[in-house]
Amino acid sequence: MSDNYKIEWAGVAENDLKGIIESIAEDTPGNAFKILKKIKQKASILYTLPERGRIVPELQDQGILIYRELIIPPWRIIYRISEMKIYVLSVSDARQNVEDILLKRLIYPK
């Protein structure tokens, strides 16, 4: 029997997800709930296999190896594993230049 991790969503990640869903709902309201469910389900699988996601390439290039991501095209869920917790830190559109966003949020927090 394996130990389960607890998943915690940072406020900024929740706001990211809310913004994505609201944007989708403007164009296709029926699709917004499906996308929300898909993203939440993908993140929830981390509670048993947190290392399933890859190390974030943009940060890996900077020598930062503690952040991982799951891809749900076209979105990226960025998270960090610490002891028995998974901290979801960001949900972003992979079509954007996310390097600057990630560095600001993960390396130089306010």
pLDDT digits (tens, 9 = 90+) for 56-77: 888 888 898 999 999 999 999 9
pLDDT digits (tens, 9 = 90+) for 18-71: 999 999 999 998 899 999 999 999 999 999 999 999 998 888 888 989 999 999
- Residue 82 bridge partners (DSSP): 85
What's the fold here for domain 6-107? Answer: YaeB-like fold (3.30.2310)
DSSP string, 13-41: HHHHHHHHHHHHHHH-HHHHHHHHHHHHH
In the block, which residue shows the tokens 């979105």? Answer: 75
Q: Taking the C-alpha atoms of 4, 57, 90 and 9 in order, what is their torsion angle to the nearest 10 degrees?
A: 10
pTM here is 0.84
